[in-house]
Structure formats: C-alpha cells, structure tokens
Structure 1
C-alpha cells in the first residue's frame, strides 16, 4: 500500500488554511496537518523527520500572531531553522508578498522549491507545484518567475557606477550636481556627459519615462533601498 504524501501547512490565518485544505482535497489524497505558528511547525517537522516525515511544507512568510517567547517569528526564520537543522522537507512559500526585493532575497537566500501567491493560486496550480516538488523540481508562479527573470537581467546590467548614480540621484535636484560625486573604482571622477549617458541607458533598461520614474522602478526592483 502506497504511503500518502504528508503535508504540513503553517499559516496564522485559518481562512487561508481552509482554502489550501479545500484545494488539496480537490487534487489528491494527502495526509495533511496544520499549525498557526512557525515554532509549532518546526517542532512537528523536527519530531517526525526520522519516523513519519513530512514531504512538503506550505508556509507564509509573515506571521502576525507572535506571542512572547516566540523563537521563529516568520516563515523566513522557519525555513532557515529547517535548513540549519538539516530537516529534509520541500518548502512551498504561499504568501501575499510580491515585493521584488523580498521575493528575490527569499528565493536567492532560502531557495524554496515553490513560491505561490495566495490571491491568485488555484487548486490546479497547487497540484502542479506539488508534482514538481515531489520530482525534485522547482515551481514559481508566473508573476514571481517574471520578477526573478527581470531582476536577474537588471542585476547583470547595473554596475557599480550605475548603482552610485541611482543612489545619489534623489539627493541632487540637478544632474549636473552629480559631477564630482560619482567615481570610478580607482577614485577618478566621472564626467557629466558619461553620467548622462549612463542615465539614458538605465532609463532604457528599466523602461522608465524619466529620472523620477527610474528611481521608483529601481526601488521596486530592489536595486536600491
């Protein structure tokens, strides 16, 4: 008799948990356990890892109901703790967070097997994500995949000079004021004409209408704070 795939759902909103449970019932026969704190999720995963392990963890990133004495305050803490302790479980982030910088950092640093969005995820997508994870493959919902692709492309194109310009631009009312501020790695100052050319290229790369729009898009992409 084949063993059921064990799934743990960690979320502090019961309605979200119920939604995931309904979706799971529609697409397969799983052994599902739920919890509303990261501490409890970690204890369950740790305690069962050698006897009756969970194969998949669904977790949010943000948890609002943290009581005094909580050790793992959010999903990022939970994933880090699992990796540190060597708990073998596939992680599916299911969250409302779509900020490019947050997404990029979570995927780059924590390497979850899947990343889904609560507001857009369907039973079919959950089923597809599970299939991918059980095959040791990765799945990011379309919007997240697009953000990662664009962020990676921009990161390649944005060098140290471009970063200096993007960081300094909001502090100076006129572009001419950047001359004497932007420097090469050897300390040599960048001429105004080169700064203007770099800005023009950045506006093209980030599809920005003007320099204000450029800064907004650079922040949205997590290139600058």
Structure 2
C-alpha cells in the first residue's frame, strides 16, 4: 500500500500555493509516496481544517504556514505564528514549516521562540530546489532552515551574552524609526526604565558614550536586529 503524505498549505496568495504544489508534485518519486494537498487562505479556514484534521483518522502530516495571513474573525489568531502554535497543540505529530518574506532578526527570533517550527524558510532565499530539499529533509526527521535563518543563528552564537525580549524590542522599534520617548507605547515600560535599559545595552556593546545610531549599528553587526 502506497504511503500518503497529507499536507495543508496556508497562504493568502493562491499563486504562491500553486508554485509550492507544482514544485512538490513535480518532484514526487514514483513508488515513494503520494501527496494529498489541501489549501487554506485565511486563519479561519486554516484553523477549521486543522481542528477537523485533529479528530480525523488521517490527520495532516505537514503544514506549510505563511506568517502574514488575514486574522481570524474573532481576533484570537492574528498571524501564521499564532496558527502554528495552535497546530502544534492540536496536531503534535505534524511537521510545521513556516514561510515568510520578513527577514529581520527580531521577527526570526520571535518565530523561533514562539512557533519552534521544523522548517523555517525566508521566501527571498527560496528556490524550487531548496523547497524540495527542505521538504525531503523535514520528512526524514531533520529540521531545515534557509540561509537567512542560519545566519541569524551564527550571529547570535558569536555573542557571549544574550538580550532579553524587552531589550530586543527596544532595539527593534528604534531601528524602525520610533523615538525613545514614544517607546513606552510599544514596550510597556516607563521612559526611565527604557533609558536605563538602553544604557545597559550600550555598556554590553562597549559603546557606553555612543548615540542611538551607534547603538543600532552595533546591534546590526551583532545580529540583534
């Protein structure tokens, strides 16, 4: 009896899903396995399919999840990361592959921390060959990360310290052009606490007297943004 790999592809761009489908179906080796591919374009559609699959005798084996998705109608699932967290709870044996256009270190860190996917692919890295390589690797039990994600790991390893989530958020929002005085709207700390954290980060970076431009430059070199 032939093996069947049941896949759910979740992306709000039908042409992207079509490209994934054609790549995987075109790579199917005769006598190896059959692919049964389902599609969802929103968080609501995906969550319903995931819930239905969880109670099925033949649940999904692999989920391809884009990060940028229309949120659920009740507002509880706002992105593919949220969806991946639900999927891991409802389908613990399924392989989760995250795909995104976002390549900022803060976003990569957030996905790895919250979703802990089996595969993490940055779309700008992606070719048909790499998609096949990633799929085959993950199906054999080996996690796969595209080059931008691996660079994120390498930059973090070079540092002999880590920054907590609030410090990383400070750097991220500063890098997006938010003024220090307005960071309280994004981080949930008082302005004095934010200023203190900025000073601590500068000391860690050995630029205690540096301005925000120097802080962000060093943060980029070290892979924190």
Q: Compute the TM-score of the two structures, normalised by the length of structure 2.
A: 0.70
Unaligned runs of 5+ in 1: 172-180, 184-189, 204-209
Structure 1 partner of 2:65: 59
1:199 match: secondary structure: coil
Q: In 2, Cα distance between the equivalents of 1:217 and 1:55?
A: 42
Give 1:74's match in structure 2, choosing from 79, 95, 100: 79
Aligned runs of 1:116-127 on 2, under 5 Å? 116-127=121-132
Does structure 2 retain, via aligned residues, the 8 Å contact 1:27–1:124? Answer: no
Unaligned runs of 5+ in 2: 29-33, 172-178, 181-194
Q: Compute the TM-score of the two structures, normalised by the length of structure 1.
A: 0.70
Q: In 2, Cα distance between the equivalents of 1:213 and 1:15?
A: 42
Does structure 1 retain, via aligned residues, the 8 Å contact 2:125–2:148? Answer: no
Residue 97 to residue 221, structure 1, CA distance change in 2 (3 Å): farther
Q: In 1, Cα distance between the equivalents of 2:50 and 2:11?
A: 15
1:111 match: secondary structure: coil
Residue 5 to residue 211, structure 1, CA distance change in 2 (3 Å): same
Query: Shift in Å at residue 85 of structure 1?
Result: 3.4
Structure 1 partner of 2:25: 25
Structure 2 partner of 1:157: 161
Q: In 2, Cα distance between the equivalents of 1:196 and 1:18?
A: 47
Structure 1 partner of 2:143: 138
Q: In 1, Cα distance between the equivalents of 2:60 and 2:205?
A: 54
Structure 1 partner of 2:39: 34
2:206 match: secondary structure: helix
Q: State whether structure 2 residue 216 is matched by structure 1 residue 212.
A: no
Q: In 1, Cα distance between the equivalents of 2:67 and 2:77?
A: 11
Aligned runs of 1:76-91 on 2, under 5 Å? 76-91=81-96
2:7 match: secondary structure: strand
Aligned length: 190
Residue 217 to residue 30, structure 1, CA distance change in 2 (3 Å): farther
Aligned runs of 1:169-184 on 2, under 5 Å? none
Does structure 1 retain, via aligned residues, the 8 Å contact 2:137–2:143? Answer: yes
Query: Shift in Å at residue 223 of structure 1?
Result: 4.0
1:101-127 CA-partner distances (Å, limit 9, x unpaired): 110121123210011122331222111
1:21 match: secondary structure: helix
Whose radius of gyration is greater, 1 or 2?
1
Give 2:110's match in structure 1, choosing from 99, 105, 109: 105
Structure 2 partner of 1:187: none
Give 2:207's match in structure 1, choosing from 199, 208, 215: 199
Residue 143 to residue 159, structure 1, CA distance change in 2 (3 Å): closer
1:33-54 CA-partner distances (Å, limit 9, x unpaired): 1110122222222322341111
Does structure 1 retain, via aligned residues, the 8 Å contact 2:81–2:111? Answer: yes
Does structure 2 retain, via aligned residues, the 8 Å contact 1:114–1:139? Answer: yes
Q: In 1, Cα distance between the equivalents of 2:140 and 2:8?
A: 18
